[in-house]
Structure 1
Amino acid sequence: MEKIGDAILTLLGTLEEILKKADINTVATKTNAQHRTIKQIVGHLCDSASNNTHRIVHLQYQSSPLIFPDYANLGKNDLWIKLQAYNAYDWEDLQALLKATAKHVVHVIKNVDETKLQNEWISALNERISLEAMIVDFPRHFKLHLDEIVALLQD
């Protein structure tokens, strides 16, 4: 878990440097294929870190498999972005929120009870996902959105 946490921190550091240099108008107007602005993608990364933190905690003490609200499937993540009005969020505050939520999920990952890694939750798509698989996938998801942001800033 230590290596996964370190990988997330490395990705976060890279993203922080990129976002510091980004033009405020670009981050609020340029959109990806999902019609998300860079600010909305950053907000989505905050949601992902927050939701995964909750899953990691719940999966260490509740019965497995756990039925947990699934914000990421069936279009709910876009609803989360909309309801939280990330495009209207102060840019400096949004970057600070990303840093805090990402560092917190890393802390939680590095302190996970490894005897609970095979505990599962059931997604909205009725898939069983182990705690371990969810944690292992987090850096891939983070990098996917980091790459999206890089591509949008390069266009």
Structure 2
Amino acid sequence: MENVINQINHWIQSLPKEYNSMSEIEISNRPSPNKWSKKEILGHLCDSAINNIERFVKIQYAEQPYVIQSYNQEQWVVVQNYQDRPLNEILNLFQTLNKQVINIIINIPVKKLSYLCNIGNNHQKTLEWLIQDYLEHMEHHINNQILIKNND
């Protein structure tokens, strides 16, 4: 888990610098009508943190396998209106939520990392896998959508 903690800490520190080096047009532009802007992607990462904080906590005490409830990602982004919110608010939210994710991970007893959760279609994974997947999901969006330069 140390690597996951270090990587999340890395993004807590570096992502604000990356965003602050971009123009308002670059962070607000939607590549197409049905694609999120870089601002909305950051909001989506906040939503992911909110949902996973709940999962990381509940898996530790709920009956196993804990059943992961999905959420409507598109609606979360729309309803919270990340597109029209000030960037610094979304960045602060990202940092605060991910500091909480780290706090939870640090405090998980090793034996609980093997606790099971049902991720859908009766596929069972461990809490440790879910935490790793959280980081992979975050880095997918950061590396493939946020950090790439738009050529428009």
TM-score of the two chains, using structure 1 as the length reference: 0.87
Q: How does 1:21-60 map to 2 (within 5 A)?
A: 21-31=21-31, 35-60=35-60
SS at match of 2:117: strand
1:13-68 Cα distance to aligned partner (Å, 9 max, x none): 22221011121222112337960111110001101111111111001111111123
Quote the Cα distance in structure 2 between the aligned partners of 1:125 and 1:37. 31
Corresponding residue for residue 142 of structure 2: 146
**RMSD in angstroms over aligned alpha carbons?**
1.9
1:77/1:124 CA distance change after superposition, 3 Å: farther
Corresponding residue for residue 127 of structure 1: 123
Corresponding residue for residue 65 of structure 2: 65
| Unmatched runs of 5 consecutive residues or more in structure 1 | none
Tell whether the 8 Å contact from 1:31 to 1:38 is kept in structure 2 after alignment: no
Tell whether the 8 Å contact from 1:11 to 1:142 is kept in structure 2 after alignment: no
Identity across matched positions, percent = 26
1:139 positional shift:
2.0
| Unmatched runs of 5 consecutive residues or more in structure 2 | none
Tell whether the 8 Å contact from 1:53 to 1:105 is kept in structure 2 after alignment: yes
1:154 positional shift:
4.5
Corresponding residue for residue 19 of structure 1: 19
Quote the Cα distance in structure 1 between the aligned partners of 2:8 and 2:118. 24
Quote the Cα distance in structure 2 between the aligned partners of 1:29 and 1:125. 36
SS at match of 2:114: coil
SS at match of 2:69: coil
1:93-130 Cα distance to aligned partner (Å, 9 max, x none): 11111111111111111111221112222234442221
User: What residue identity is the alignment partner of 2:64?
Assistant: S
